[in-house]
Amino acid sequence: MLSTFRRSTGFLSRICGPTEALKQSGRELVSPEMWILLNLYRNVFVKFSMMPFSFEISERVIHVDRLTRRKRLVSKCWSVLGPLHSLICFYLLSNMVSGSKLKSYDVLDILRPVACMYLGILPLTMMGMSYTISFCPQVAPSIVNCIPRLEEKFSELANTVCRRRPTVSNPHLEALIYIGIFAAPLAMMVLVPSAVVLNLDPLNIFFSTTCKDCVARMVTFYMTRILILTLLCVEIVKAGLAFLIVGMIVLLAASEGACKLDNCIKSGTVSKLGILRLYQELQIWNQHTNILFCYKAIPPLLFLGLIIVIFVNYATIKLFGVLPGMIYPAAPASSLGAAVLFMTLLPQAAKTHDNSSLFLASVKNYVIGKYERKVGYSLRPIGARCGPFGIIRYEWVSKFVETDLNYTLTALLTFR
């Protein structure tokens, strides 16, 4: 099965063509396929959204493009659309809850508050990444462009130790991301018009299409609602895929770096002080990443994302056969996307902290020199910091899964 999957994902290495092949030295921390997916993601989404980046795949370097003043304004307004839409959804939801009871038992009338809550929470989960792309585009290159330089130093270290370079590729994940990059825009083209026609979008309150005699007005309102909801979905999908691809690249670099240093510190042929200095660079880069991005972006993704996961799991199970056929796929698709996002990033973030902790334990056992031990005492574990709540560990992963299962079962038993 694994060999079949590797053959099916082998096309990724040929997407960019021979003239843009990745350097062989760029395989120490991150697989070439992840860089190819980052380039593919940028090339696809730049066609129908504001993407202020260009990517030089041969050097694995991100550049910030100089946009015109009008494009910068559009990009920022596009990013603000998500939180603004969430405020509208919560306002309408409060009116639905505090207002009179439903006079109709039609499934769509019951579903509209559910859709309003879903479309209100979802943009907030991606708010951190969306804000970073639109308002702080220099953050991405300042973080990602450090990885090739780190890979060069790890390559020199690997040549000194003369150990075989392990494969850091994950063909299953790479295939899923590749499918998601192309499937997400196609899904939006089907789901958004369907939701608008069924009046499941919150904006049907402001742009009502109940007047059948005013054809021009009705068509205009339909097109306006489809356009706004499409813009919102594009921003959410763009931010979600950026979280997954860039997040995996950064976490893989940190995790693999700590693992390689742990193996090297146990070797007697390498300078222990050089290894400690390299870990210091890794630690400084990790702190830089946490300050600029992780500290503010991860908490809404994690906590609001957990609500979304519980929500779509309940909808996938309970609304099967109840929702119209053209709307129901949104529930399992959201559930699958959330599972891939969280069950990929969370374990990898926990692995980063675990590998760095193992390295620091090896430092205490294998470092003998007095000065080297002093340097070792100044080192700290690395990992993705979730705001003031601390660094993500394996306990977080088990707690996330436990909370998801418990509250999903509670919802299924309570709301029958």
> Over the stretch 218-249, which tens digit does the pLDDT of each residue have?
888 899 999 999 999 999 999 999 999 999 99
Total number of domains in the chain: 1
Q: Does a structural domain hold residue 13?
A: no
Q: Does a structural domain hold residue 179?
A: yes
**pLDDT for 163:** 58
CA angle centred on 344, ends 339 and 346, rounded to 5°:
100
Q: Does a structural domain hold residue 141?
A: yes
Determine the Cα–Cα distance for residues 358 and 262; give it in Å rounded to an integer: 7
Of the two residues 12 and 278, the one the predictor is more confident about is: 278
Mean pLDDT to the nearest integer, 294-318: 93
Per the DSSP assignment, residues forming a β-bridge with 53 are: 64
Least confident of 104-113, 269-278, 309-318: 104-113
44 has a pLDDT exceeding 50: yes
Q: Does a structural domain hold residue 1?
A: no
165 has a pLDDT exceeding 60: no
26 has a pLDDT exceeding 70: no
**pLDDT for 18:** 38
Q: Band the pLDDT of 19: cuts 50, 70, 90.
A: very low
CA 64 → CA 54, 142, 288, distances in Å?
Answer: 6, 10, 19
Q: Does a structural domain hold residue 3?
A: no
**Is the separation of the CB atoms in 64 and 52 below 8 Å?**
yes
Determine the Cα–Cα distance for residues 416 and 409; give it in Å rounded to an integer: 11
**pLDDT for 161:** 65
311 has a pLDDT exceeding 80: yes
3-state secondary structure of 268: coil
Model confidence, pTM: 0.90
Task: Kindly write down the DSSP assignment for every residue of 321-357, as one continuous string.
Answer: TTS-TTTTTHHHHHHHHHHHHHHHHHHHHHHHHHHHH
> Over the stretch 170-214, which tens digit does the pLDDT of each residue have?
888 999 999 999 999 999 998 999 889 888 888 888 887 777 667
5 has a pLDDT exceeding 90: no
Of the two residues 193 and 21, the one the predictor is more confident about is: 193
Per the DSSP assignment, residues forming a β-bridge with 348 are: none
8 has a pLDDT exceeding 80: no
**pLDDT for 9:** 46
In a 13 Å sphere around the CA of 332, the CA atoms on its Cβ side amount to 10
Q: Considering the chain, what is the average pLDDT of its residues?
A: 87
Q: Does a structural domain hold residue 247?
A: yes
> Over the stretch 61-97, which tens digit does the pLDDT of each residue have?
999 998 899 999 999 999 999 999 999 999 988 888 7
Q: Does a structural domain hold residue 10?
A: no
CB proximity list for 92: less than 8 A, separation 6 or greater: 116, 202, 205
Q: Report the share of the chain in percent with pLDDT over 70.
A: 88
**pLDDT for 391:** 96
Q: Does a structural domain hold residue 102?
A: yes
> Over the stretch 347-391, which tens digit does the pLDDT of each residue have?
999 999 999 999 999 999 888 788 888 999 999 999 999 999 999
Determine the Cα–Cα distance for residues 203 and 180; give it in Å rounded to an integer: 27
Say what the alpha-carbon torsion angle 82, 87, 89, 94 is, to the nearest 10 degrees: 160
State the residue range of the domain holding 52: 27-415
